[in-house]
Amino acid sequence: MKARLNYLELTSADMARSRTFYAGAFGWEFTDFGPEYSATITDDTAVGLTTESDLDSAPMLPVIEVEGLDKVAEALTAQGGIIVKPIFAFPGGRRFHFRDPAGHILGVWERAAYE
């Protein structure tokens, strides 16, 4: 059996603000499934936003792959995101960590350009 992570769900007290933030920072489009749930619908890993806040789970670091890391960092901060770990290099690329308006910490990375 082959298994892969294909969905990530984030809680948010302010659904409209979270949708606006991720749409503005990454260009994601959301579909509403009622007033308490919204999600991206893609062929890769989709993201769900829920107002259900009684979920009890350990923290994890979701990481989003992008092209144009510096421009994404600018768009993200323009939308109200806070960079909590500035851009740093690692074998294979560069990345940074940010806090979204709902308080979640996520990472953003870009693959290294190999010649």
Residue 50 has a pLDDT of 86
The answer on pLDDT for 96 being more than 80 is yes
Residue 2 has a pLDDT of 63
Cα–Cα distance for residue pair 87/58, rounded to 1 Å: 25
Has residue 1 been placed in a domain? no
Has residue 96 been placed in a domain? yes
The answer on pLDDT for 64 being more than 80 is yes
The answer on pLDDT for 114 being more than 70 is no
Has residue 73 been placed in a domain? yes
Has residue 77 been placed in a domain? yes
Which CATH number do you get for residue 68?
3.10.180.10
Instruction: Go through the chain and tell me how many residues it has.
Output: 115
- CA torsion angle 54 60 65 71 (round to 10): 80
Domain that holds residue 40: 7-111
Cα–Cα distance for residue pair 97/102, rounded to 1 Å: 15
Contact between residue 68 and residue 75 where contact means Cβ atoms under 8 Å apart? no
Has residue 100 been placed in a domain? yes
* Domain count of the fold of the chain: 1
Average pLDDT of the chain, as a whole number: 87
